[in-house]
Amino acid sequence: MNQSEPVERLWGGRFKTGPSAALEALSRSDPSFFRLVPYDLAGSRAHAQELHRAGILTAQELQLLLAEIGRLEAEHLAGEIAPSKDDEDVHTFLERELTKRLGATGGKLRAGRSRNDQAANDLRLYLRAKARTLTTAVLDLQNALLEQASAHTQSVAPGFTHLQPAQPVVFAHHLLAHAQAIYRDLERFADWDRRSARSPLGAAALAGSAICLHPELSAVELGYDGPCENSIDAVASRDHVAEFVFVASMLSVNLSRLSEEVILWTTRQFGWVVLDDGYATGSSIMPQKKNSDIAELTRGKAGRLIGNLGGLLATLKSLPLAYNRDLAEDKIAAFDCIDTLELVLPAMAGMMRTMRVNVDEMRRQAPLGFTLATEVADWLALRGVPFSEAHEITGALVRTCEEQGIELADASVQTLARVDVRLEASVLAHVTLDAAVAARSGFGGTAPERVAEQIARLRQALGKQAEWADSYQGPSW
């Protein structure tokens, strides 16, 4: 915009003077908000159709507007046009361009709508699209986890509770525990979308429009299931944004838990995993270092997303109906969550896909710390010994082995008999890593055949999530 051109605003007729510089600076949209240009233009197409149905636009004017909106979209995508410093928001920018090109016809587009329903619609469309792109990125991480799990259904590792050695598991089972939690995040995106597939267009400022009387038609044109039931709720509520940010932050928490374990696995103390050089960093002073920075950065960013959720909920608390400018904060929270996840997810997927697992070291560590003690207690219980008594007998055996400096599998027949005569030599066949994991053969257990079945089921479930992400059409233009 040239200095000589008057600043265009979508308001101001009742004011004698223009806004102060301080007000303009505070009121101007964050530059990140202009990513909504394609979605604002999609809403404008649907609104133009509504104005034609209402008789505001002639058929010729409708075609002029639709054609110019198409050119605007192409030029913006190509970087040929951009907002000026005087454009208060995306709506001002696009209306300025349309009016400059079409004159009064461009100005007609404002009839029957408000920035309130425009802003709500733009963000809904954007979030619905991003729910799919994030799902696709999460699926790539999930597939990386499944690839590693498929390679390690027989690889025995220590399982932990309280970060203390507890029972042996196959490493695939441990990886799948993370994959199952992340799968629920994918389900949350789809479930969120079901509640959010309602169009706010037609709500106008808050009371509905006296001109746009068929919001159900524009809703279909924009890929929604239907219009919002209540025009006040349509422009005043942002629970769908808070829920999206919650899903994003819950996903980041699950990524953080996976990251923490990768950080542990790659330490010399664990020695379970070696990261590919392309997914690790070094030290500026210690030449020998190989750091799991992707995992650490992911873990750190989880706190940021949690903060976005807390900040947005605090903003929404106690807001009176209907629209308030406070609601502009919804985009700050949502955009930051999306931008952060779009950085984190590909890096995490690459790190997990390329890491090398030290199977021998995991197996060496698996029985340490008497992780096979439960096998002894279970063996006794299956032979009629009350479990409370079996627990005490096994505890006494562990104490004896500690005193002798041996593991359970190394206990002699004489040692077993001294602890309790019911501890027969045949128990030793059950105090092995392979026997322990094989015994957990119930549904959801760590037995290799059950883990293989779990992998197959999860692959099928992820395929359905991919279909959901790929099937979205969005606006019909």
Give catalytic residues, as residue numbers. 162, 283
HSE toward the beta carbon, residue 185, CA cutoff 13 A = 28
- Is 284 exposed, middle or buried (CB count within 10 Å of its CB: 0-12, 13-18, 19+)? exposed
Query: What letter represents residue 91's amino acid?
Result: H
Three-state DSSP string of the chain: CCCCCCCCCCCCCCCCCCCCHHHHHHHCCCHHHHHHHHHHHHHHHHHHHHHHHCCCCCHHHHHHHHHHHHHHHHHHHCCCCCCCCCCCCHHHHHHHHHHHHHCHHHHHHHCCCCHHHHHHHHHHHHHHHHHHHHHHHHHHHHHHHHHHHHHCCCCEEEEEECCEEEEEEEHHHHHHHHHHHHHHHHHHHHHHHHHHCEECCCCCCCCCCCCCCCHHHHHHHCCCCEECCCHHHHHHCCHHHHHHHHHHHHHHHHHHHHHHHHHHHCCCCCCCEECCHHHCECCCCCCCCCECHHHHHHHHHHHHHHHHHHHHHHHHCCCCCCCCHHHHHHHHHHHHHHHHHHHHHHHHHHHHHHCEECHHHHHHHCCCCCCCHHHHHHHHHCCCCCHHHHHHHHHHHHHHHHHHCCCHHHCCHHHHHHHCCCCCHHHHHHCCHHHHHHHCCCCCCCCHHHHHHHHHHHHHHHHHHHHHHHHCCCCCC
Q: Which two tokens stand for residue 130?
A: 């991003």
CA dist., res. 136 & res. 132, Å (int):
6
Question: What is the C-alpha to C-alpha distance for residues 154 and 449, in angstroms, rounded to an integer?
Answer: 9
Token readout for 218 is 């524009």
Q: Encoding tokens for residue 209?
A: 């429009």
State both tokens at 128: 């619905």
